[in-house]
Amino acid sequence: MQPASNNIIQTHSLSFSYGRLNVLNEINLEVPRGSIFGFLGPNGAGKSTTIKTLLGLLHTEQGMIRIFGKELNTHKLFILERIGAMVESPSLYDHLNAFRNLEITARMRNLPFKRIRPLLETVSLLQDAGRPVKQYSTGMKQRLCLAIALLAEPELLILDEPINGLDPNGIMEMRQMLGRINEEQKCTILLSSHILSEIEKICSDVAIISSGTLVYQGSMLTLLGLATGREVLTIHVDDTDKAKNLMDGRFDSTIKDQILTVTVKDKPEAAYIIRMLIENGIEVYSAERESAGLEASFLHLLNSSHQS
Amino acid sequence: MKRNLNTFARIVAAETVKLRSTFAFWLTLFYPIGTVLLVTLFWVSMRNNKSLSTDMFINNLGNVASFFLPFFIVLMISVACNTEHKSAMLKHILALPVPRPVFYLGKFAGIMVFITLALILTLVFAYGSLLLCGLLYTKLGLGATFNHGLLLRIIIRAYIAASAIYTIQYWLGMRLRNLTLPVAIGSALIILPIAILIILGIAGLINENQSFTKIITYNPYSYPYSAAFNMMKSTEITIFSVNTYIFISLSLAALLLGAWDFTRRRVY
């Protein structure tokens, strides 16, 4: 008999490849029961592939997946009955309205239709429930997908990029909703995202994946602790590629939208970096220093993993 | 087993909800309306013919229905399968606690509900048309000698002859993500014997039609034609013949192979 575990999801040496391309490399994921678990990683790191293997959409070639203490390969239906999921982009029948979309899932899962109305109310879609989904905004579609995932009152909610494409208001609504679900229904939530600020606000535990390898797993507080005393320097330069080359191997840095972001220890280090850029013929238009949060820890871990 | 049957029934019901107000649903109405309308126009134009009999109406209906049936099935099934691919719904559905083969078979059964509806509507519209024609010209009406059995046999036979098309097209539709490819493959297979017939005609070899017979014998998409035009040497119009068992066996084989393929498929 297996000892009772506090982890609702547990994978052991989970590996997966698309042909010769190795996408997941010996992942040992442990998602604590009752947590809101953030699954972070840059695009193409293997977040969606991990989620698809957890849901049995992709058959694992190596390793073991255990959910609710049972092996996925042998207890797939038992496990899926207790899971609500949302995989990648909103999957909905565009020509049908919200009520019909929920009805289809309710029929397939053998659930009572009386759950549909309160759920539409929870996700603030009751007013628009009669309109075809193709007329919905991205935020409304995401909320409807969440309602579909919640229909079975799951013990575990797996959400792949649930805040993708949402405006700030939509992101805030989604965050509040997930918090409420976790608290009121005692539902464990695993959500993947690359929007770090949101993960930082909502998640109690976190795992970071990079190039198919798990580089961090633990509580959010511990992760934030990794960045204590560090700061983020945001620099607007004329040649970001040249600036990035200068940083590589010396500082944790990334480029996004022509802005160079560097993690620094203190003021003198920030001054040193700016001076170095200017001395190497790079025009510095602006530079801003902020105290570091999850972003700095994330960059630090990613760069450490690349260097090793 | 009981649980799987229950799930199967629920998937069939869900499928009927899904297909409402899609093009697949409208096709289910257009096909019988179009078929009966064409035959009725011909029937009315024949009103002055002295040797007019309602068997002529029935045989014409059988031929026209058999000619358009493969096109209807190819389009209808491809559109119905595409509802799953269009919004990446397979990812959502296969993450539900539903065994994959049960979903595959349940969805097929759901589509067959609409195809059966088309069969019933063809019969209803045929009777409706004759009743209406009878009001306008008495001799074009149903009459006491109307052969109800022949009408039933001829329509049901066409649908049975198409049984391999249902399952092969369904397999193609579920396998291929876009709509164009399964429709193109299906249409090409339907048109193939007609194209060969035209080529033989142009080459002056229309009497040496062995190759044509071969094509329609080995191409499941030609079975409704071959059944309608008696190409497979059956002497009388019956629903069940040796050919019927060939059609159904091939259909079952394609359905089971499709279900097996779907079960082991990776959903990216």
| All structural domains of chain A with their residue ranges | 7-221, 231-291
Residue type at A110 in one-letter notation = N
From the list B14, B22, B99, which residue is nearest A77 (CB)? B99
User: Domain residues for B227?
Assistant: 2-263
Task: Search chain A and give the residue with CA nearest B16.
Answer: A104
Q: Residue B136 pLDDT more than 80?
A: yes
Helix (H) or strand (E) holding A178: helix A168-184
Mean pLDDT on B226-239: 60
Number of domains composing chain B: 1
pLDDT, position B252 = 94
Average pLDDT, whole number, for chain B? 87
pLDDT, position A1 = 43
Alpha-carbon distance values, B154 to B34, B225, B231, B236 (Å)? 18, 12, 15, 11
Task: Search chain B and give the residue with CA nearest A89.
Answer: B88
Burial label for B118, CB within 10 Å (0-12, 13-18, 19+), is buried
Annotation: CATH topology of A231-291: Alpha-Beta Plaits (3.30.70)
Residue B268 lies inside a defined structural domain of this protein: no
From the list B6, B86, B95, which residue is nearest A57 (CB)? B95
Interface of A with B in 135-154 (CB under 8 A): 148
| Beta carbons of A103 and B86 less than 8 Å apart | no
**Which of B82, B91, B262 has the most A C-beta neighbours within 10 Å, making it the best mutation to test the interface with A?**
B91
Residues of B whose CB is below 8 A from A17: none
pLDDT, position A2 = 46
Mean pLDDT on B53-64: 88
Residues of B whose CB is below 8 A from A53: none
Q: Residue A226 in contact with residue A301, Cβ under 8 Å?
A: yes
Helix (H) or strand (E) holding B194: helix B180-202
In which band, very low, low, confident or very high, does the pLDDT at B99 lie, cut at 50, 70 and 90?
very high
Encoded tokens for A64: 């073991």
pLDDT, position A3 = 47
- What's the alpha-carbon Rg for chain B, to the nearest Å? 20
pLDDT, position B157 = 86
Burial label for B216, CB within 10 Å (0-12, 13-18, 19+), is buried
pLDDT, position B203 = 73
Mean pLDDT on B122-134: 93
Low-confidence residues of chain A, pLDDT below 50? Answer: 1-3
Task: Search chain B and give the residue with CA nearest A106.
Answer: B14
B261 CA to chain A: closest CA distance, Å? 14
Alpha-carbon distance values, A205 to A17, A99, A247 (Å)? 27, 34, 30
**Which of A95, A102, A153, A161 has the most B C-beta neighbours within 10 Å, making it the best mutation to test the interface with B?**
A95
Residue type at B17 in one-letter notation = V
pLDDT, position B229 = 66
Chain B CB within 8 Å of residue A56 CB: yes
Task: Search chain A and give the residue with CA nearest B262.
Answer: A57
Chain B CB within 8 Å of residue A100 CB: yes
B196 CA to chain A: closest CA distance, Å? 40
Model confidence pLDDT, tens digit, residues A124-152: 899 999 999 999 998 899 889 999 999 99
Residue B103 lies inside a defined structural domain of this protein: yes
pLDDT, position B3 = 83
Q: Residue B232 pLDDT more than 50?
A: no
Model confidence pLDDT, tens digit, residues A60-87: 878 999 999 999 989 999 999 999 999 8
Task: Search chain B and give the residue with CA nearest A90.
Answer: B87
- Per CATH, the homologous superfamily of domain A7-221 is P-loop containing nucleotide triphosphate hydrolases (3.40.50.300)
Q: Residue B140 pLDDT more than 90?
A: no
